[in-house]
């Protein structure tokens, strides 16, 4: 009996000891786990605080990679950003554990191949294990085989901005294969989530700053544009008053010439705004016609020759001997580019300064020729920090530039876009008080022939129009009285019999009530009651085949296409040109 009591006592002691040891072990385990969780929380708090500092982004990310890498005891921490192509990751930041002596991966690219690309796209942001990839997963291991990565232990956690993948963090450990604990995966996903939040906030700040900068630029542009438009308008109104008050014919002619000059300046401003609207809508298009390079250069120079002469500037033009003369391309847009650059050169170059154009052959490929143009001046120059800014819409190099020299800040933005559409690019070499050199290239098709036969258009102002269209009847559909008066006055010597309608409905009634009474119709597009497009469709539906010419301020390509689609034969843009009207009348009143 005593024996069993002794045995029971020994067993009790052993059980109690075992329970004590086990409980101690469990307590220690939970204590260690609790301590690790506390340390992890502290780490994430330190990372969150670091995002509030003024440290630059690259240093901030690298410091955080080091903090997490040391905590997780890994060999290497890499941060990749997704490139614009949507499938290539580029290493931008890294931390390498010095114990392992690994090579830097900065700048290396990792294209996401299938099936890895599909796996990455299927990840769910902020969903724990479902938002990361690790070497624990045999599917991920197999997908990584094509990359021949030396690491066998890794966790990759994508970084998102508004649900879209922005980049990825790679946690790597050299050595034998191991499993990653839930705690380690949790930390990896928490860190990726923290970086996602940081980049989202940074993107918001950048968007806000960009929006504010754009708003300031457009406000300044509107202010500049108001000044630029009011200046010629003031001259037009003032000179008209002078012409009305004087009986001196020479004085009247002087005033009218100034009105014409100011009107053309105002039209150039409007055209710049229209071009900028086309660029922003991605609707600026080029035409292709044969042209003579020498004639184009002379035309561009002629537009700014008066200003250069007024300032006694010395101008020189040199075209290298091996440059071909004839091309196929948009001669008007290329002229616009050269005119913009020459106008700026004349504007910003002081009296008796120097301006030059140099044209050289930059290359030939198949039927295309690359030309290089250099427009150089000895003007005020541009600060190096402002060189990129000058090609932005609505901006000039200095805020005081507009006040002193004028301009809208659109010319160079339009110039750059035209050059890009011609397959070229533009650069600038400039410094304060050292002048500027604009260098640009364009690709043009070679014209196959020795000469170009141009159709010489007769200018209405240069010929006698008296009685040219005697007996022909024109219906002018126009709702604005002064516009009707202008057309009637401009064409009064031609012999045309001109009838008018104030809207599309009235023009439709006049034509249908008296078929065959009119030989041609000038039709405005925007009119009350019924617009010009509707009226034209009704006329064509009723079998009326009279030539209908759109006469409208809607001058975009889409506007012209809509006119033709409605059944109109041609298009004249406002403001009206006597030469253009005469040309259209000559074509359709044969």
Q: Check which CATH number belongs to the domain holding 261 and give it.
A: 1.10.287.130
Residue 296 has pLDDT above 50, yes or no: yes
CA–CA distance, 489 with 86 (Å, rounded to integer): 62
Average pLDDT of the chain? 80
Specify if 69 maps to a domain. Answer: yes
Strand runs (DSSP E) across 281-392, as ranges?
Answer: 289-292, 314-319, 326-329, 354-365, 368-377
Residues 481 and 542 in one domain: yes
Residues 40 and 136 in one domain: no
Residues 319 and 221 in one domain: no
CA–CA distance, 439 with 426 (Å, rounded to integer): 6
Residues 226 and 199 in one domain: no
Residue 504 has pLDDT above 60, yes or no: yes
Specify if 197 maps to a domain. Answer: yes
Q: Tell me how crowded residue 370 is: count the other CB atoms within 10 A of its CB.
A: 17
Minimal CA–CA distance to 329: which of 360, 288, 383? 288
Query: What average pLDDT does the segment 378-393 reach?
Result: 78
Specify if 459 maps to a domain. Answer: no
pLDDT value of position 204: 80
Residue 490 domain boundaries: 466-588
Whether residue 575 is preceded by a cis peptide bond, meaning omega within 30 degrees of 0, is yes
Whether residue 583 is preceded by a cis peptide bond, meaning omega within 30 degrees of 0, is no
The domain boundary, picked from 413, 446, 479, lies at: 446
Distance of CA 161 to the CA centre of its chain: 23
Residue 325 has pLDDT above 70, yes or no: yes
CA atoms within 13 A on the CB side of 485: 3
Specify if 451 maps to a domain. Answer: no
Look at residue 379 and give its three-state secondary structure: coil
Residues 442 and 296 in one domain: yes
CA–CA distance, 40 with 532 (Å, rounded to integer): 73
Structure tokens at 508: 């439709």
Query: What average pLDDT does the segment 85-101 reach?
Result: 84
The domain boundary, picked from 161, 182, 207, lies at: 207
Residues 437 and 293 in one domain: yes
Residues 252 and 354 in one domain: no
Residues 235 and 375 in one domain: no
Residues 168 and 71 in one domain: yes
Specify if 108 maps to a domain. Answer: yes
Residues 379 and 491 in one domain: no
CA–CA distance, 478 with 47 (Å, rounded to integer): 70
Number of domains observed in the structure of the chain: 5
Residue 463 has pLDDT above 80, yes or no: no
Are the C-beta atoms of 348 and 398 separated by less than 8 Å? Answer: no
Residue 275 has pLDDT above 60, yes or no: yes
pLDDT value of position 164: 79
Q: Tell me how crowded residue 323 is: count the other CB atoms within 10 A of its CB.
A: 15
CA–CA distance, 364 with 261 (Å, rounded to integer): 41
Residues 197 and 266 in one domain: no
Specify if 198 maps to a domain. Answer: yes
319: domain CATH number?
3.30.565.10
Span 237-257, pLDDT tens digits: 888 888 888 888 888 888 888
CA–CA distance, 100 with 467 (Å, rounded to integer): 97
Query: What average pLDDT does the segment 140-156 reach?
Result: 65
CA–CA distance, 253 with 540 (Å, rounded to integer): 46
Specify if 212 maps to a domain. Answer: no
Give the burial class of 64: count Cβ atoms within 10 A of its Cβ; 0-12 exposed, 13-18 middle, 19 or more buried: buried
Tokens 């409905």 belong to 505
Residue 371 has pLDDT above 90, yes or no: yes
Distance of CA 347 to the CA centre of its chain: 27
pLDDT value of position 342: 92
Residues 298 and 441 in one domain: yes
pLDDT value of position 224: 65
CA–CA distance, 425 with 418 (Å, rounded to integer): 9
CA–CA distance, 382 with 397 (Å, rounded to integer): 7
CA–CA distance, 104 with 127 (Å, rounded to integer): 31
pLDDT value of position 403: 45
Q: Tell me how crowded residue 518 is: count the other CB atoms within 10 A of its CB.
A: 19
pLDDT value of position 24: 56
Q: List the single range of 1-10, 432-441, 496-505 with lowest mean pLDDT.
A: 1-10
CA–CA distance, 342 with 338 (Å, rounded to integer): 6
CA–CA distance, 189 with 448 (Å, rounded to integer): 65
CA–CA distance, 396 with 409 (Å, rounded to integer): 5
CA–CA distance, 493 with 60 (Å, rounded to integer): 78
Are the C-beta atoms of 334 and 296 separated by less than 8 Å? Answer: yes
- The per-residue b/e assignment along 446-480, b for 16 or more CB within 10 angstroms, e otherwise, is ebeeeeeeeeeeeebeeeebeebbeebbbbbbbbe
577: domain CATH number?
3.40.50.2300
Per-residue pLDDT band at 86 (split at 50, 70, 90)? confident
Specify if 342 maps to a domain. Answer: yes
Per-residue pLDDT band at 68 (split at 50, 70, 90)? confident
Tokens 């990455």 belong to 120
Is 45 or 30 the better-scoring residue by pLDDT?
Answer: 45
The domain boundary, picked from 415, 446, 477, lies at: 446
């Amino acid at each position: 009996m005593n024996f069993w009591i002794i045995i029971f006592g020994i067993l009790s002691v052993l059980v109690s000891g075992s329970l004590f040891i086990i409980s101690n072990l469990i307590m220690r385990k939970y204590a260690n786990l609790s301590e690790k969780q506390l340390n992890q929380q502290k780490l994430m708090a330190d990372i969150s605080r670091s995002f509030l500092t003024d440290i630059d982004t690259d240093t901030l990310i690298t410091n955080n990679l080091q903090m997490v890498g040391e905590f997780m005891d890994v060999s290497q921490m890499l941060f990749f950003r997704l490139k614009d192509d949507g499938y290539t990751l580029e290493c931008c930041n890294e931390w390498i554990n010095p114990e392992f002596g690994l090579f830097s991966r900065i700048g290396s690219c990792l294209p996401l191949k299938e099936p890895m690309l599909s796996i990455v796209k299927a990840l769910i942001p902020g969903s724990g294990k479902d938002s990361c990839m690790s070497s624990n997963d045999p599917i991920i291991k197999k997908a990584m085989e094509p990359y021949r990565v030396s690491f066998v232990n890794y966790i990759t956690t994508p970084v998102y901005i508004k649900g879209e993948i922005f980049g990825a963090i790679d946690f790597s450990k050299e050595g034998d294969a191991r499993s990653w604990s839930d705690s380690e995966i949790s930390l990896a996903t928490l860190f990726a989530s923290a970086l996602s939040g940081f980049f989202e906030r940074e993107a918001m700040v950048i968007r806000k700053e960009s929006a504010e900068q754009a708003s300031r630029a457009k406000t300044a542009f509107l202010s500049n544009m108001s000044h630029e438009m009011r200046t010629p308008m003031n001259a037009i109104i003032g000179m008209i008053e002078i012409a009305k008050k004087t009986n001196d014919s020479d004085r009247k002619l002087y005033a009218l010439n100034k009105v014409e000059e100011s009107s053309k300046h105002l039209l150039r401003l409007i055209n710049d705004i229209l071009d900028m609207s086309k660029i922003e809508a991605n609707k600026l298009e080029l035409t292709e016609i044969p042209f003579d390079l020498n004639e184009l250069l002379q035309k561009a120079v002629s537009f700014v020759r008066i200003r250069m002469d007024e300032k006694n500037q010395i101008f020189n033009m040199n075209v290298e001997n091996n440059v071909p003369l004839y091309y196929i391309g948009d001669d008007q847009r290329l002229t616009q580019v050269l005119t913009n650059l020459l106008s700026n050169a004349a504007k910003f170059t002081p009296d008796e300064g120097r301006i030059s154009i140099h044209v050289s052959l930059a290359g030939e490929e198949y039927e295309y020729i690359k030309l290089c143009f250099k427009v150089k001046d000895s003007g005020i120059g541009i600060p190096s920090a402002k060189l990129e800014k000058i090609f932005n819409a609505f901006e000039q190099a200095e805020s005081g530039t507009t006040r002193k020299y004028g301009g809208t800040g659109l010319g160079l933005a339009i110039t750059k876009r035209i050059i890009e559409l011609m397959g070229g690019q533009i650069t600038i070499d400039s410094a304060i008080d050292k002048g500027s050199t604009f260098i640009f290239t364009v690709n043009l098709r070679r014209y196959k022939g020795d000469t170009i036969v141009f159709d010489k258009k007769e200018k209405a102002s240069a010929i006698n129009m008296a009685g040219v269209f005697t007996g022909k009847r024109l219906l002018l559909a126009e709702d604005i009285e002064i516009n009707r008066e202008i057309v009637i006055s401009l064409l009064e010597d031609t012999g045309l019999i001109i009838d008018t309608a104030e809207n599309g409905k009235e023009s439709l009634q006049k034509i249908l009530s008296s078929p065959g009474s009119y030989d041609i119709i000038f039709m405005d597009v925007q009119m009350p009651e019924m617009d010009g497009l509707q009226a034209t469709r009704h006329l064509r539906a009723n079998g009326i085949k009279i030539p209908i010419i759109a006469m409208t301020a809607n001058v975009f390509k889409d506007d012209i296409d809509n006119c033709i689609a409605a059944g109109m034969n041609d298009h004249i843009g406002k403001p009206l040109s006597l030469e253009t009207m005469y040309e259209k009348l000559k074509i359709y009143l044969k």
